[in-house]
Amino acid sequence: MSKTVRTFLSGASVALGATVAFSGTAQANTELLDQINSYSQDDIAQVNSVFQLSDVSPSDWAFDALRNLVENYNCIVGYPDGTFRGSRPLSRYEFAAGLNACLQQIERMIQSGTGEVTAEDLAALRRLVNEFEAELATLGARVDDLEGRVEFLEDNQFSTTTKLNGEVIFNIGAAFGEDDIDDQVTFSDRVRLNLDTSFTGRDRLRTRLEAGNITAFDDATGVETARLGFDTFTGEDGNDVEIGKLFYRFPVGDNVRAYVGAVGLGLDDMFDVTNPYFDSSGSGALSRFGRFNPIYRGPDGAGAGFNFNLGDKFTVSAAYLAGDGDVNNPAEKNGLFNGSYTAAAQLDFAPSDRIMLSAVYANRYQKSGDINLSGSTGSDWAKRPFMNSVPMTSDNFGLQASWMVSNKLNLAGWVGYTSADVELSGDNRSADIWNWAVNAALLDVGGDGNVLGFIFGQAPKLTGVENSSICDGSSCDDTTYLAELQYRYKLNDNITITPGAYVVFNPNQNDDNDTVVVGSVRTTFSF
């Protein structure tokens, strides 16, 4: 359960109807009960996403509460015409029916071991039960049963401040090509356990424990564009457990959300990468390049950032991050401010609830030995134009867009540009790197929650350098392209199976290189 019960309790009356018509006394008559039964069974349609409701938009004052109830508790319904009709009056009986349905759903989630409540949550829950005692009794929901549910929540909560959620990936994969590619089929795993702690109900301290042995296919193919989007740095360590993330997120007033992190904090944790159906490593693109613009990848791990909402349409974000390997090292050319770093800012613009646009800029310094200008998604030249022995600074620019064309189709894409310079006295070498991608997500193909996805793009490409022998003549003219096709099948709320494949054409910016094909069947368990 990704939200606390307190969020449900504070938003229940808002999400179930913008105006509650309290009658003051229970009208237990047959006609009214028939209306409630009709409301609860015949004239409603279950929705899996708040965006399925045509008359609800992110600018609505009740949007967050409604989205929480729809997406996290699955106990809110709409009308057959795809509307929610949040402005119409709601009787106490109808509210009690909705309350009872949500209580039952919360109980099921607690029984499955994915929920937690605090003492404050339970007190608020008891107040709601007492307030609607007469209506719940009329509907046949015995108050003593509800009291039993509350006692069950008290006895089975994981923690009063911390909730546990996790993700496990089983992957069967292989890379195929000519004889020089190690094309053995592999079976591997990745495990992540998130401990999310809240002290105020609006903040979150995330501690992630992770382990894995998923192969990075760049070793087998010699091509970093062939990497999986969920491979692990601990792949050769045989599932050694480590702290993958440790950061704290908290509000500052009503419009600012701040972040402070010590381990594993990246720009994609703080910025919206504007690729809603493919950005996740556990349920997004199979390829590393297909997840989001490589501009977001760089020295990171520890630092701070914030999001500042400027009304309903604009958000400004900024962050400073230092490399994991540098930040705790007091030696020269290390530390929080003297080692490799990323300083970035982003502007998001949402002209409607179906369109999202963003522009990102990142300034980076990468010290000698740590050069990686492509985020390990492109050619060797794009990653290290001048090998790994010289420090470099870079200016990185990205434009991203996502458009929900209809309830069944989302289109997204990006373009990224990097201008990099050698940071040595008397060395004026520089390089330009470009990448772009487009993708399409077809929703509910073959069943609710399933996604058929296609991604195509140009992996980071070194387009030219100055004052260097690299790319003389036409040696930089070749372009590496990636095409991915996947089908994300939702077996149930906790298990998703994603078979698919992606093809890397002209690997490492060389059309003489053989095409590389990576096949994968990713099974994701979430709890």
DSSP summary character for residue 424: B
Residue 137 is predicted with a pLDDT of: 65
CA gap 160, 116 in Å, rounded = 7
Give the angle subtended at the CA of 198 by the CAs of 194 and 199, to the nearest 5°. 150
Assess contact for 169 and 522: CB atoms under 8 A.
Answer: yes
**CA nearest neighbour of 47 among 19, 84, 16:** 84
Here the tokens at position 454 are 């296609």
Please name each of the domains of the chain with its CATH number. Answer: 5-156 (no CATH), 162-181+189-526 (2.40.160.10)
CA gap 82, 44 in Å, rounded = 9
CA gap 313, 345 in Å, rounded = 17
Q: What is the pTM of this model?
A: 0.72
Query: Which value, in Å, is the radius of gyration of the alpha carbons in the chain?
Result: 26
Q: Which residues contact 335 (CB under 8 A, 6 or more apart)?
A: 322, 326, 327, 329
Residue 477 is predicted with a pLDDT of: 82
Alpha carbon 197 to chain centroid distance?
19
pLDDT of residue 344 exceeding 70: yes
Q: How far apart are the first and last CA of the chain?
A: 8
CA distances from 380 to 55, 176, 288, 339, 374 (A): 49, 20, 15, 23, 9
- Quick one: what percent of the chain has pLDDT higher than 90? 52
The lowest-confidence range among 48-57, 119-128, 147-156, 315-324 is 119-128
pLDDT band of residue 17 (cuts 50, 70, 90) is very low
CA distances from 70 to 276, 356, 409 (A): 18, 22, 20
Condensed to tens digits (0 to 9), the pLDDT of residues 272-291 reads 999 999 999 999 999 999 99
pLDDT of residue 337 exceeding 80: yes
Residue ranges in 216-261 assigned as alpha helix (H) = 218-221
Q: For the residues 227-235, what does the mean pLDDT come to?
A: 79
pLDDT of residue 11 exceeding 50: no
- Quick one: what percent of the chain has pLDDT higher than 70? 73
pLDDT band of residue 247 (cuts 50, 70, 90) is very high
| Crossing angle of helices 5-16 and 92-111, rounded to 10° | 150
Around Cβ 62, how many Cβ atoms within 10 Å?
18
Condensed to tens digits (0 to 9), the pLDDT of residues 139-162 reads 554 555 666 777 777 676 667 788
Residue 56 is predicted with a pLDDT of: 74
Q: For the residues 20-45, what does the mean pLDDT come to?
A: 43
Condensed to tens digits (0 to 9), the pLDDT of residues 89-144 reads 766 666 766 777 777 776 666 666 555 545 565 566 677 767 767 666 665 545 55
Would you put residue 473 in left (φ > 0), alpha (ψ -120 to 50) or beta?
left
H/E element, 37: helix 30-37
